[in-house]
Amino acid sequence: MKNLSNKTALVTGASRGIGAAIAKRLAREGANVAITYNSSPDRAEAVVKEIEAAGGKAIAIKADSSDPNAVKAAVDKTAETFGGLHVLVNNAGIAMLKSVEDFTLEDFDLHTSVNIRAVFAGSQAAIKHLPRGGRIITIGSCMAERVAGPGGSVYAMSKSALIGLTKGMARDLGPKGITVNLVHPGPTDTDMNPADGVGADWQRSMNALGSFGSVEDVAAMVAFLAGPESGNITGAGMLVDSGNNV
Ligand code: NAP
């Protein structure tokens, strides 16, 4: 019996990067997996095919996280398709790094809608489906607590907001036996932050291990939080960041 046999997970923004790795890892743990995507239908379908080829069950749902109704509909569609929902992973996120002087209000609003409001809307929609033992796991960032260089003000703010939201939801949902946690990746090799990109060596120089993380590192932490051994952990923020914040 695998850790997540007979369980269903929804991972937002899982056509690529960290979300795709989480979806594949949760499927390997035995979960039926739904993923959302916005602009990469082919890559989302490839994730589904890979899970199915390994013997798992998966679906891809188009849901722009800047639209709270689309996120809510994705939650309900997941529960309807697989007959329930046990794990919600709020992963979809955007990061525009530029000086506060250059940030437009439109870009500010996009960050708050995708990185914060979608987490609220998806989590709220999930509550009616989640049983005791249900899990809400959100992907934050090491930048929630440490902004090591210029250009990160709005992105960092959006991730800091998730700390309060997570702690508050943990209090609200504790009596229902639902845990709510954050995972804070450090520099992780994806399209958003390539390990060979401009600034990658600078990021390595900022952390204790001098390394860049992999998407599998983050997926492993999510798998632990989604699994049966994490039931006494809620309202927590878990750093998977090469020691960026030490
Ligand atoms: P990525 O490589 O840019 O991938 C982003 C994923 O999110 C894609 O699957 C994308 O789907 C989806 N997405 C973006 N905007 C969306 C929207 N409006 N609606 C629905 N889906 C949307 O990013 P990543 O590095 O994997 O980041 C994943 C999470 O980790 C984010 O929350 C990010 O803030 C966080 N994080 C990343 C790092 C890092 O160094 N990589 C560090 C700390 C935290 P489509 O392609 O279909 O649009």
Report the CATH number at residue 180. 3.40.50.720
| Domain assignment of residue 246, yes or no | no
- Ligand 1: atom nearest CA of 142 is 43
Overall number of domains in the chain: 1
pLDDT at residue 209, rounded to an integer:
98
225 C-alpha to ligand 1 centroid (Å): 20
The token duo for 71 is 């996120």
| Domain assignment of residue 245, yes or no | no
- Per-residue pLDDT tens over the stretch 20-57: 999 999 999 999 999 999 999 999 999 999 999 999 99
- Of 135, 154, 133, nearest to 143 by C-alpha is 154
State the DSSP code for 228.
Answer: G
217 C-alpha to ligand 1 centroid (Å): 16
Q: What are the helix (H) ranges across the chain? A: 17-28, 41-53, 68-82, 105-111, 118-127, 153-173, 200-206, 215-226
Please, what is the average pLDDT of the chain?
Answer: 98
Which residues, judged by CB distance below 6 Å to any ligand atom, belong to the binding site of ligand 1? 13-19, 36-40, 64-66, 91-95, 114, 139, 141, 185, 187-188, 190-193
pLDDT at residue 87, rounded to an integer:
99
| Domain assignment of residue 2, yes or no | no
| Domain assignment of residue 177, yes or no | yes
Pocket test of ligand 1: the residue of 37, 211, 238 to mutate, having most ligand atoms within 8 Å of its CB, is 37
pLDDT at 71 over 90: yes
Expressed as residue numbers, the domain containing 84 is 8-240
| Domain assignment of residue 38, yes or no | yes
| Domain assignment of residue 109, yes or no | yes
Pocket test of ligand 1: the residue of 10, 24, 36, 39 to mutate, having most ligand atoms within 8 Å of its CB, is 39
pLDDT at residue 1, rounded to an integer:
87
| Domain assignment of residue 167, yes or no | yes
152 C-alpha to ligand 1 centroid (Å): 16
| Domain assignment of residue 48, yes or no | yes
**pLDDT classification of 15: cutoffs 50, 70, 90:** very high
18 C-alpha to ligand 1 centroid (Å): 7
pLDDT at 107 over 90: yes
